[in-house]
Structure 1
C-alpha cells in the first residue's frame, strides 16, 4: 500500500482506528519492507562502472555501485589510486608537512572513533602521514584519498581538509559527524568523490560545492531533520557528476537508533540547472519531504539516468513529458507526492524500467497508454492511491517479470481477466479498494509464487474455490476491515471453508475473510496454519463451535471471530495462544463461563467477549493480566461481584461490564491504580453502595456510566461547564478530562 504507517508510539493510543492501523502495520511493514529491500533495493546500491557488462540486471548494478562507494573500491575510468609503503623514504623527508597538519587539525575536531581507527594519527609520526590508517598518497607524497567510513566518528567536519589540495576521494559516510558542511571544501578542485552520507550534518548545501568541477560522486543522503536548506543552483556546474544522492536511500543499513526519522528535510525547488549535469546516472531526492514545486522539464536532458526518485516530497503539477527521453532508466519513482494529471504516454517507451512507482498522488486517466508490451523488464508496478480509471490492464499480463502489482484504491472496474494466471512470477497482488467484480479467475492458481493477495473492498462474488491450491500464499484478505494489509474483506463471497481448501494455505501468515457471507463451521484445519499471525473471520454467518485446534496457533497475535453465529463454550485451549495480543469473540451465541486459564495470557491487550450468553463469575485470574487494556464483557449473564484482583490490572484504559447481573459494590476496587483509565461503564447491573471515591484520581477519565444500578449516597458537586469539584477539599478531584457522567 501507499499509505504511511503509524509509529510505535502512536500504537499506544487508545483509539480503535489507530489500533486497526497498528494491526496491519505489524505485518505490512515486514512484508513491504522486505519487498522494497528485495525488489526495489530501496537502499539504491548502485552498479559498478564496468562498461563491459551493460546487460546486468539493473537493480544488481545499483547495489554494486553504492557498495563500492562505501567500501572505497570504486574503479573509475583509468584512475588507480592505491597506498604505498613510504617507510624507506621517511629519512629523506626534510620538507614541511602541511598536509599532515591538515589531517591532525581534522582529528582535533573528532571526539570519539572506533578502537584503533586514528591512533597512529599523531604529531610524533607526522613525517609518516602517508602510512597513517586509511590515508592514501600518490608518489609525490600528496594525500589523494581518505577512506574514513563507518568509524563511529563523532565531532565536527572542520575546514582543515580543504588544505589537502590533491585530494580526490573523501569518504566520511556512516559516522556521527555533527556540523555544517564547510564551504571551504569547494576549494578541492581535484575531488572526484565526496561521500558524507549517514551523518548528523545540518544546515544547507554550500553553493561552493559547485566549484568541484571534477566531482563525479556527491552523496549527502540521510543526515536528519536539521539538514534543511535548499539545493543550490551551482550544483548544475558539476559537469562530470554521475551520482547525486540528496535523499535517504541507505536508511536500512544505518545503525542509528532513530533511523526511521533521520531523513533530510531539504526545502525549495529542484534547480533547473541540474539538467546541465548530463552525465548523471543516479539522481535521488527521496524523502526530503519539503521539496516543492514542479519537476523541471530540464531533467529530461539527463539521458544517461538509470535511477531517478522523487519519492516522499511535495512536488506538484504534471509529470513533464520530457522524462520520456530517459530511455536508460530502470528505476523511476514518483510515490507520495501531490502530482496530478495524466501520466505521459511516452513512459511506455522506457523499455528498461524495472521499477515504476506512481502511488499516492492525484493522477487520473487510463493507464492503457502507459503500460505497453515493451515494459518486459518491469518487476515492480505501484499505482495505488490515485484516481485511475478503466478496466484491469491486460497489457500487464505481458510483463513476465512482474513480482509486485499494486492497483489498490483507484476507480478500476470490470472483471479480472480469465488469464490472470499469466502473471506467473508475481509474489504480491493488491487490487483492494476498487470496483472490480465477478468471480476470482481459476487461473490464479497458476501464480505459484504468490504470497500476498488483497482483493478487499470490491464487488467480487462466488466462492474461494479458485484459491484451494495456493500453497505458498502467506497473506489472504478477500473481503471489510478496511486495513491495507492483504485482505478479501467487503465482497460478497459465499459458501463455506473446507478443510481441503485450508490445508493448502500452510504458509499463511494473515487470513482475513471478514465481512463476507461465508457459512458453515470453522474448519479444524485452520489449526494447522501454524505460521498465522492474524486470523479474522468476523462478520460472516459461521456457526458451530470454536475449534479446539485454534489453540495450536502459537504465533497468533490477533484472533477475530466477532459477529457470527458461533455456539458452544469458549475452550480452554485458546489459553495456549501465548503471543496473542487481541481476542474478539463478541456478537455470537457462546455459552458457559470465561475460562480461568485466560489469566495466563502474558501479552494480551484486548479481550472482547461482549454480546454472548456467558454466565458465571468474572475469573479472579484476569487480575494477573498486566498488559490488559480493553476488557469488554458487555451484555452477557455474568454474576457475582467484580473481583478485587482487577485492581492489579494497572494498564486498563476501559472497563466495559454493562448489562450483566453483577452485584456488590465498587468501593473495594482501587481505581487510583488505573492511571490510564478513560472509560468505566457498569450500567444495567445490580450494584449497590457508595460512589467509589478513588475514581476521582483517574485524571484521564472521560466517561463514567453507573446508570440503572442501586448506588446510594451523595455525589460531589460539579460545575457542568467545567467538571471539577467546587467544594470539599478533603476529597480533591483530579478529573481533568471527564466529558460524560451518567
Structure 2
C-alpha cells in the first residue's frame, strides 16, 4: 500500500474514532440530563448542578467511557414518582457479570455470564410509573420496585421487557389481577409480588409459561380459586410461596412433579382441603414445608418420612386424623416440627422421637394424645421450645428434663400430669416461660425457680395454676416477671411483696393461704374476708 492510500485509511479511522467519541459524549450528556431532571439528587446540591460529574453521584456507576451502567438507589427516601424518568436515556445500563444474580442464573440457563440491566429503587416512597417509558426499557434484566407506594393495576407494559430475569413488585399497593402480559416474560427467574393485599383473583394457567422460574412468591395477597396445575410445569422452581391467600380445593398432583423445590409454603389458606397425597414424598429436595392453617384432613402420609432434607415441617391447625406416623421420626435433619391443633389426632408420642436429634422446636399441643411423656424427649438436647399442651397425657414429668439445657419455652398445661415438679426444671439456665397449669401436679413448688436471676435469660413467666400443689410460696418467686399459682392447695403466710407484685388474683383458690390485706394494700370484697387475717377466696 502506498503512502497516499495509508493516509486515507488513517484519516478514515480517525474520522470513525471522532464520530464514536462524539456519539459517546452525546449519550453521556443525555444520561446526565435525565439524571438531573429526576431531581433525586437534590436541585440545590453541588453534585446535582455539576452535570459533568454525574458518574460520581451517589448510586450511579459508569463505565470507562463515562456512560451510566447501574442505577442503585434503594432506601434513598425518594418520594417522587417515576412518570418523568427517562429509562430510554440509558442504553448502557448493565450490571456486573460477577454479581450474585448472574452466578445464580448462568449455571441454569447458559455457560456465559449475562449482562444484567438493573434498576433498583426499592425502599422509597414512589407511587407511579410512566407506562410508555418503562415499556421501552427492553434492556432491563433486573427491576426492583419493592417497598414503595405503587398503587392501581400492575402495568401490562411490563410484559414488553422480554429480557427481564428478576421482577420484584412486593410490598406495594397494587390491585387487581396479574396482567396476562407478564406471562410472556419467559426469561423470568424471580417473580415476587408478595405483600400486595389487593392483588388477587384466579391465578391463570398461563403461569405455566414461565418455565425458567426459580422463585415465585405470591404470599399475602387476595388470590382465590384453585391452585393451577400448570405450576407443575415449572420444573426449575426452587421456592413457591402461596401463603396467606384464599386458594381453595386440593393441592394439584402436578405440584408433586417439582422435584427441585426446596421450599413450599401454602400456610393460611383456610379453604385448602382434602387428603394430602402420598405423592408428596416425590419432593425429595424440600427443606421447608408449611401447610398450616388449612382444612386438610385424613392421615398424615408416611411418605413425608422420605423427605430426608426437611428442616421445617408445619402441619398445624388442620383436620388431620389418626396417629403420628413413625416415618416422621426418620427426618433426622428436622429443626422444627409443628403439628399442633389437629384435635382428631390420637395415639401417643413414641419413644422414637429421640431420633430427631436436630430438633430445636417441637409443638404437639392441641391433639388428643394419651400415654406418658416419653423419656426420649429428654434426649433432644437442642430443644429451645417444647409444647405438648391440651392433650390427655398422664404420668409424671421425667426428671431428666433438666438435660434440655437450651430450653427457653415449656408448655405442658391442660393435661393429666401427676407427681411432683422436677426440681431440675428450676436449673434450666435459659428457661423464660414455664406453663404447667391445669394438671394434677402435687408437692411443693421448687425453690430453684427464681434462682437464675443473675442470668439475663432467667425465668420470666411461671404458670402453675389449677393443680394440687401444697406447701408454702417460695420467696424466690419475687425475682420473676409474672406468676400464677391460683387454685392449688398452698398454705401459710403469703408475703405481701408477692401480692403487691403479682396481684391477689394470682393466688386465689388456695383456701389455706393467708395474707394481711391491710398491710398488703389489698381491698378484697367482703366475701373474701375471713377473720382478722383473711384467706384468699377459694375457687368453685
Instruction: Pick the TM interval, shorter chain.
Output: 0.7 to 0.9
How far apart are the structure 2 equivalents of 1:576 and 1:376? 51
Q: Deviations over 1:16-52 (max 9, x none)?
A: xxxxxxxxxxxxxxxxxxxxxxxxxxxxxxxxxxxxx
CA 1:301–1:546 in 2, change beyond 3 Å: closer, same or farther? same
How far apart are the structure 1 equivalents of 2:443 and 2:85? 76
Deviation at 1:574, TM superposition (A): 1.2
Matched, 1:583 2:462: yes
Matched, 1:477 2:320: no
Q: Tell me which moved more, 233-242 or 536-545.
A: 233-242
**Partner residue in 2 for 1:526:** 401
Structure 2 residue corresponding to 1:266, chosen from 143, 147, 150 = 150
1:231 and 1:266 in contact (8 A); partners too: no
Deviation at 1:608, TM superposition (A): 0.9
Correspondence list, 1:633-652, <5 A: 633-637=507-511, 639-642=513-516
1:269 and 1:294 in contact (8 A); partners too: yes
1:365 and 1:388 in contact (8 A); partners too: yes
**Partner residue in 2 for 1:381:** 264
1:385 and 1:410 in contact (8 A); partners too: yes
Matched, 1:369 2:253: yes
How far apart are the structure 1 equivalents of 2:165 and 2:259? 21
Structure 2 residue corresponding to 1:240, chosen from 128, 132, 139 = 139
**Partner residue in 2 for 1:492:** 368
Structure 2 residue corresponding to 1:307, chosen from 176, 190, 194 = 190
1:570 and 1:591 in contact (8 A); partners too: yes
**Partner residue in 1 for 2:110:** none
How far apart are the structure 1 equivalents of 2:315 and 2:274? 13
1:665 and 1:688 in contact (8 A); partners too: no
**Partner residue in 1 for 2:233:** 349
Structure 2 residue corresponding to 1:684, chosen from 521, 527, 531 = 527
Q: Secondary structure at the match of 2:302?
A: coil
**Partner residue in 2 for 1:611:** 487
How far apart are the structure 2 equivalents of 1:334 and 1:99? 37
How far apart are the structure 2 equivalents of 1:624 and 1:194? 67
**Partner residue in 2 for 1:17:** none
How far apart are the structure 2 equivalents of 1:402 and 1:418? 15
Deviation at 1:581, TM superposition (A): 2.5
How far apart are the structure 2 equivalents of 1:228 and 1:168? 25
**Partner residue in 1 for 2:80:** 180
Deviation at 1:183, TM superposition (A): 5.7
Q: Secondary structure at the match of 2:176?
A: coil
1:533 and 1:558 in contact (8 A); partners too: yes
How far apart are the structure 2 equivalents of 1:420 and 1:476? 17
CA 1:380–1:233 in 2, change beyond 3 Å: closer, same or farther? farther
Structure 1 residue corresponding to 2:315, chosen from 425, 431, 442 = 431
How far apart are the structure 1 equivalents of 2:70 and 2:503? 56
Q: Secondary structure at the match of 1:476?
A: strand
1:610 and 1:635 in contact (8 A); partners too: yes
Deviation at 1:193, TM superposition (A): 4.0
CA 1:664–1:377 in 2, change beyond 3 Å: closer, same or farther? same
1:318 and 1:341 in contact (8 A); partners too: yes
Q: Deviations over 1:641-674 (max 9, x none)?
A: 45xxxxxxxxxxxxxxxxxxxx5477x56xxxxx
How far apart are the structure 1 equivalents of 2:61 and 2:175? 41
Deviation at 1:171, TM superposition (A): 3.1
**Partner residue in 2 for 1:395:** 279
1:343 and 1:370 in contact (8 A); partners too: no
Deviation at 1:368, TM superposition (A): 3.2
How far apart are the structure 1 equivalents of 2:407 and 2:129? 47
CA 1:316–1:179 in 2, change beyond 3 Å: closer, same or farther? closer
**Partner residue in 2 for 1:440:** 324
1:490 and 1:515 in contact (8 A); partners too: yes
**Partner residue in 2 for 1:359:** 243
**Partner residue in 2 for 1:542:** 417
Q: Secondary structure at the match of 1:412?
A: strand
CA 1:342–1:416 in 2, change beyond 3 Å: closer, same or farther? same
Unaligned runs of 5+ in 2: 1-28, 96-114
2:415 and 2:439 in contact (8 A); partners too: yes
How far apart are the structure 1 equivalents of 2:160 and 2:504? 60
**Partner residue in 2 for 1:598:** 477
Correspondence list, 1:403-418, <5 A: 403-418=287-302
How far apart are the structure 1 equivalents of 2:450 and 2:267? 40
Matched, 1:294 2:177: yes
Matched, 1:460 2:345: yes
Q: Tell me which moved more, 592-601 or 396-405.
A: 592-601
How far apart are the structure 1 equivalents of 2:322 and 2:241? 28
How far apart are the structure 2 equivalents of 1:321 and 1:417? 28
How far apart are the structure 1 equivalents of 2:191 and 2:504? 47
CA 1:232–1:614 in 2, change beyond 3 Å: closer, same or farther? farther
**TM norm structure 2:** 0.79
2:228 and 2:252 in contact (8 A); partners too: no
**Partner residue in 2 for 1:190:** 90
How far apart are the structure 2 equivalents of 1:230 and 1:681? 66
2:336 and 2:360 in contact (8 A); partners too: yes
Unaligned runs of 5+ in 1: 1-95, 112-117, 145-166, 196-213, 248-262, 479-488, 643-662, 670-679, 690-706, 710-742
CA 1:127–1:343 in 2, change beyond 3 Å: closer, same or farther? closer
1:494 and 1:518 in contact (8 A); partners too: yes
2:280 and 2:303 in contact (8 A); partners too: no
How far apart are the structure 2 equivalents of 1:338 and 1:122? 42
CA 1:169–1:531 in 2, change beyond 3 Å: closer, same or farther? same
CA 1:639–1:611 in 2, change beyond 3 Å: closer, same or farther? closer
1:607 and 1:631 in contact (8 A); partners too: no
CA 1:569–1:414 in 2, change beyond 3 Å: closer, same or farther? same
Q: Secondary structure at the match of 1:372?
A: helix
How far apart are the structure 2 equivalents of 1:301 and 1:708? 72
1:230 and 1:267 in contact (8 A); partners too: no
How far apart are the structure 1 equivalents of 2:242 and 2:54? 51
Matched, 1:316 2:316: no
CA 1:169–1:562 in 2, change beyond 3 Å: closer, same or farther? same
Q: Secondary structure at the match of 1:473?
A: coil
Q: Secondary structure at the match of 1:283?
A: strand
Q: Secondary structure at the match of 1:295?
A: coil
How far apart are the structure 2 equivalents of 1:191 and 1:330? 28
| Count of aligned positions | 476
2:81 and 2:129 in contact (8 A); partners too: no
Q: Secondary structure at the match of 1:347?
A: helix
